[in-house]
Structure 1
């Protein structure tokens, strides 16, 4: 399993979603994409987008005050 991280500090939606979609195209099934963001609305939008639209398991964790790490695991679409 490969883990790829992208830094989206200071970026508002839809930029993190666009960056994540591009990066996920290069990943294999089972790989994880980690996104760092400092906007709670971006964190919620990214997790919802990839769970609902793509069906990828996604979660977020506040790793510091106001900083979130979002994890998206690429899997085969159902």
Structure 2
């Protein structure tokens, strides 16, 4: 299983979504992309996009005050 981390500190949507989509294209089933962000609106948009649009399980963890780590797991059918 592969895992990639994208640093999106200071970046607003849609940049984190576009970067995550690019990384996920190169990954296989059950591989994960982690996005590090400091924008709560980005956190909500990313999770909503990947769970609702693509059906990828996503979770969020606050790793520092005002810093979140979003985990997206690629699931293929």
Which residue does the alignment assign to 2:52?
52
Q: Does 2:61 match 1:61?
A: yes
> 2: CA distance between counterparts of 1:3 and 1:19?
14
Which residue does the alignment assign to 1:75?
75
> 1: CA distance between counterparts of 2:61 and 2:30?
20
> Per-residue displacement from partner, 1:33-67 (whole Å, max 9, x unpaired)?
00000000000000000000000000101000000
Task: Return the TM-score normalized by structure 2.
Answer: 0.97
RMSD: 0.7
Return structure 1 stretches of 4+ with deviation > 3 angstroms.
Answer: none
> 2: CA distance between counterparts of 1:15 and 1:51?
17
Unaligned runs of 5+ in 2: none
Aligned pairs, how many?
A: 77
